[in-house]
Amino acid sequence: MLRFLVPFVTLIVFMGYTIFAIATSDQTLGQFAGDLMRRPTTALVVFDVYLALLMIATWMFFDARRRGHGIGYLLVFYVITFCFGSAGPLAYLTLRGWRDYRQMRVGSRASDTTT
């Protein structure tokens, strides 16, 4: 159960703060991004975050492929990832954990009925 609860709660908290930060900001997202890229030090942080997100997206691709999902399944998570950062991988992990939890429960029910 923790396999989906931990990323789910983290996703809710992260998105809640994201919405709060955007709603109370005195600038648009475009202005914010422009300000970040104006200085080399903050641009470095942006590049580092996107590099990490790219590595996570690569892991998500191979994990989804191993689980039998195609690229169409991942597109939503990729859009969320490259627009809202950690929210994409957290949503992926939440859904992945939920499916594992459901399969485990269905498997335990099937073994209970056969014994």
pLDDT at 112 (0 to 100) = 60
Three-class SS of residue 56?
helix
DSSP 70: -
Tens of pLDDT along 13-69? 999 999 999 899 898 878 888 898 999 999 999 999 999 999 999 999 999 999 999
Q: Please give the model's pTM, rounded to 2 decimal places.
A: 0.81
Rounded to whole angstroms, how far apart are CA atoms 105 and 23? 40
Residue 96 CA, chain-centre distance (Å), reads 11
Question: Is the pLDDT assigned to residue 76 strictly greater than 80?
Answer: yes
